[in-house]
Amino acid sequence: MDSYLKMMKRMVDLYDQHLQQSGHQTEKSDRVASFIRDLDAPEYDRVLAGLPTLLSQGQGAVPRYNFDQDCINRLTQPDDRWIRIEEMVTISPVSLDLTDKNQALQTFELADLLLDLYPSENELTGIENRVVAEPQKYPAILHLAVKLALSKTQLNALTTQIHLTVVVPLFKEHNRIQSRKIHPAGEDFIRRKVAELNWLYDSKADDTFDLIFVDDGCPEKSGLIASNIIAKEGYGNVRVLFLEHAIASGSPMAKGLKSTEDSQKGGAIQYGLWEAIHQPRKQAELIVLYTDADLSTNIGQAGLLIKRLSNKKTLCALGSRYDPGGIYCTPKGAQGLSDNDRLKLIFRHYVRAELLPQLGPGVDTQCGFKAIKAEVLADTLKQMVDKRFSFDMELLLLITLNYDQGGRTIAQAPIVWIESNAESNFY
């Protein structure tokens, strides 16, 4: 079954479990749930084939603007800073090779140059708007460097002391965990993730971070490989957990798990989140972020999520590839989704908006880059049932049902995401 159709059927399950029984349903949402519940694969394909006939040709009305003629006049003047940036990326490949450490270093160098040339958040936001307006015109390295520079600027502007814990699930990552010298698909992601966070925090001395990798029952012993790399590098703020230990010890996060085979990513992440909020720490606000093992999302972009969480009413911040400002990179560059995947996304979003409106207007609920305030996690995690890849939606839904106070509980942050499909393991 198509993964988008699976996800929509899982939305119906959540609707039945959490909303219908509590009286949140409407006649319209019941109709949608019934339709999706009975929808089979051939019918789904016919829906996708006919969906373009229901869509308008344009992208909506002319966007609002807040500039005046003086702003226009200034735009007519050459910007030597921008000319310098464009010259630097003229010969850059359209996409980024996630196995190439040198490209990663070049990305950070470009981000540092952007920070030097455009020191204010307003200026960097203007640069972001420029490259996002014509995504295919610019190489992935520039898209990512702009997001990184903005992330660092926003994090540095925050005055609250924050500790960030990053949780990463591991399953059949025995190849991607290595360097490219050892395996052609190797991303060396443990060392690279540490480097990404070190770069983000290198001018934020009062804030701290740690990394938790969680082995989801990997038959290839990804967790042991990770432990060896961590020991070799001497990382004091990086550790590995094993879901099988949680099951054996009777952890609350092992409820419903007879073995690690009952988990598909969700069990590992929930165990990591649980351990993150129960570890000893300094008197700092705790934010827990989870992401995938691959390097598709550079976690140097975490400042974009943390900034959203500085709003007291916002409890979760989601990285988004598909909402305005998000950049989805394939090997051909910032191409975005294929037409077929775009139609699937539109259809899935329609179903989610009708069945689970509490999740807000964001399109990309499944991006593996989410940050959550620690204070809402303990009770929420205890209520969770889903241990598989669709656990995200249950997590977000329970947070909104339990803690929403009429504010924007969930916020979206547009990010750059780069495909790393050669070794995808959880689906």
Query: For residues 277 and 53, what is the distance between their CA atoms, to the nearest angstrom?
Result: 48
Nearest CA to 17 among 410, 409, 390?
390
pLDDT of residue 360: 84
pLDDT digit string, tens, across residues 119-152:
999 889 888 988 888 899 999 999 999 999 999 9
Nearest CA to 368 among 262, 268, 225?
268
> For residue 95, is it left (φ>0), alpha (ψ between -120 and 50) or beta?
beta
Does 417 have pLDDT greater than 60?
yes
Does 75 have pLDDT greater than 70?
no
Query: For residues 108 and 106, what is the distance between their CA atoms, to the nearest angstrom?
Result: 5
> Higher confidence at residue 67 or residue 285?
285
pLDDT of residue 45: 83
Token output for 345: 């996304």
DSSP states of 73-121 as a string? HHHTS--HHHHHHHHHHTTS-SS--TT-HHHHHHHHHHHHHHHHH--SH
> Could you tell me the CA-to-CA distances from 55 to 226, 335, 353 in Å, in that order?
47, 21, 17
> pLDDT band for position 63 (50/70/90)?
very low
Token output for 139: 């190489």
Does 23 have pLDDT greater than 90?
no
pLDDT of residue 427: 43
* Spatial contact of 304 and 282, defined as CB atoms under 8 Å apart: no
Query: For residues 408 and 225, what is the distance between their CA atoms, to the nearest angstrom?
Result: 41
Specify the DSSP element, H or E, that contains 170. Answer: strand 162-170
Token output for 407: 């504010």
> pLDDT band for position 95 (50/70/90)?
very high
Q: Which residues pair with 414 in a beta bridge?
A: 320
Query: For residues 360 and 363, what is the distance between their CA atoms, to the nearest angstrom?
Result: 9
DSSP annotation of 20 reads I
Query: For residues 147 and 115, what is the distance between their CA atoms, to the nearest angstrom?
Result: 11
* Spatial contact of 207 and 316, defined as CB atoms under 8 Å apart: no
Helix (H/G/I), strand (E/B), else coil: 21: coil
- What dotted CATH number matches 162-321+364-418? 3.90.550.10
> pLDDT band for position 59 (50/70/90)?
very low
pLDDT of residue 61: 38
pLDDT digit string, tens, across residues 286-329:
999 999 999 999 999 999 999 999 999 999 999 999 888 999 99
**Which residues fall within 8 angstroms of residue 114, CB to CB, at 6 or more apart?**
85, 124, 127, 145, 146, 149
Q: Backbone phi, then psi, for 289, in 5-degree steps?
A: -120, 140
Nearest CA to 136 among 285, 332, 2, 276?
332
pLDDT of residue 69: 54
Q: Per-residue pLDDT averaged across 7-21, rounded? A: 88
Out of 109-113, 163-167, 224-228, 349-353, pick the least confident: 349-353
Q: Per-residue pLDDT averaged across 346-373, rounded? A: 89
* Spatial contact of 369 and 164, defined as CB atoms under 8 Å apart: no
Out of 17-26, 303-312, 383-392, pick the least confident: 17-26
The secondary structure of the chain in percent helix, strand, coil, rounded to multiples of 5, reads 50, 10, 35
- Percent of the chain scored above 90 by pLDDT? 65
Q: Cα dihedral angle (119, 150, 170, 341), rounded to 10 degrees?
A: -150
Query: For residues 374 and 361, what is the distance between their CA atoms, to the nearest angstrom?
Result: 23
Per-domain residue ranges of the chain: 78-157, 162-321+364-418
DSSP annotation of 315 reads -
* Spatial contact of 412 and 324, defined as CB atoms under 8 Å apart: no
Does 226 have pLDDT greater than 60?
yes
Does 265 have pLDDT greater than 90?
yes
Out of 84-93, 114-123, 282-291, 357-366, pick the least confident: 357-366
**Which residues fall within 8 angstroms of residue 166, CB to CB, at 6 or more apart?**
193, 197, 209, 210, 211, 212, 288, 289, 290, 291, 299, 302
Query: For residues 380 and 402, what is the distance between their CA atoms, to the nearest angstrom?
Result: 8
Average pLDDT value over all residues in the chain: 89
> pLDDT band for position 376 (50/70/90)?
very high
Q: Cα dihedral angle (368, 372, 374, 375), rounded to 10 degrees?
A: -140
> pLDDT band for position 57 (50/70/90)?
very low
> pLDDT band for position 361 (50/70/90)?
confident
* Spatial contact of 171 and 217, defined as CB atoms under 8 Å apart: yes
* Spatial contact of 271 and 214, defined as CB atoms under 8 Å apart: yes
